[in-house]
Amino acid sequence: MPSNNEKSRRYAVYFAPPENSALWCAGSDWLGRDAATGEIRPQKVGNGIAPGRLADITEAPRFYGFHATLKPPFHLHDDTNEAELIAAMEAFAADRAAFAAEPLLVAGLGRFLALVLEPASPEMESLAADCVRAFDAFRAPSSRSDLERRRQPGLTERQETYLRAWGYPYVMEEFRFHMSLTGGFDDQGLRAQIAAVLNDRFAPFAAAPLTVDSVCLFQQDNRRVPFRLSARFPFGRQMRFET
């Protein structure tokens, strides 16, 4: 059973690049916070974008930290605890092989901008689906308010089924890898300005495959404080190469 402190926490299984990597630094600099150290970073902007406006637009992804969701945030089930979750993640990672996914590109997803894999990576989709299944025993049932919040954008019948089964509608074939760089906003002129800056800043990562060799545990002590990267679990098998 989780302790009282653990009951207030939320956990999430994310992909995040290594904390000393150029990609992690670029993402953390853009969002204005390093989710590993908690350091607040000055957001360097240009292209006519007001710093305050950028801070507003990046508020949501800054709160969650630079990442791509594999298993969305959850409270621990009463029958589990943090130590058991960590042990399960260690075992899960030890049995997986690292892989190279497609390069990252800046793209619009609905009302927000993100880094995506284009084309999609079957291995990344398999990793996400396996994370959803493998760690679901640790997830407490979703509250009514959480379910209603997830339904607000409008869900398809399949997404509603997944919401009820897994606590999140965008899993399995509804999953799309993305590393959010903004929250949702509708100003098309500002969107074009920000996209131009993002394409410039993240251009180096469009030139090489994305290495995926670990999964990360992020946690949030309560819903008022940001998520932080609390543990990284390296994959136990070496990267496969095509012959």
Residue 167 amino acid letter: G
> Does the pTM of the predicted model rise above 0.85?
yes
Res 242: pLDDT: 44
Is residue 208 pLDDT above 50, yes or no? yes
Res 45: pLDDT: 81
C-alpha–C-alpha distance, residues 75 and 220, integer Å: 10
Supply the DSSP string of the chain, one letter for each residue: ---HHHHH-EEEEEE---TTSHHHHHHHHHHTB-TTT--B------TT--HHHHHHHTHHHHHH-S-EEEEEEEPBPTT--HHHHHHHHHHHHHT-B-EEEPPEEEEEETTEEEEEESS--HHHHHHHHHHHHHTGGGBPPPPHHHHHHHHTT---HHHHHHHHHHS-SS-GGG---EEE-S-----HHHHHHHHHHHHHHTGGGGSSPEEE-EEEEEEESSTTS--EEEEEEE-SBPPP---
Mean pLDDT calculated for residue range 204-215: 95
Backbone angles phi, psi at 135, to 5 degrees: -110, 10
Res 51: pLDDT: 84
Tens digit of each residue's pLDDT (9 = 90 or more) over 233-242: 999 976 554 4
Is residue 243 pLDDT above 70, yes or no? no
Domains along the chain with CATH numbers: 4-234 (3.90.1140.10)
Mean pLDDT calculated for residue range 104-126: 95
Q: Determine contact, residues 113/191, Cβ cutoff 8 Å.
A: yes
Tens digit of each residue's pLDDT (9 = 90 or more) over 60-105: 999 999 999 999 999 999 999 999 999 999 999 999 999 999 999 9
Mean pLDDT calculated for residue range 186-194: 93
Res 240: pLDDT: 53
Bridge partner list, 234: 214
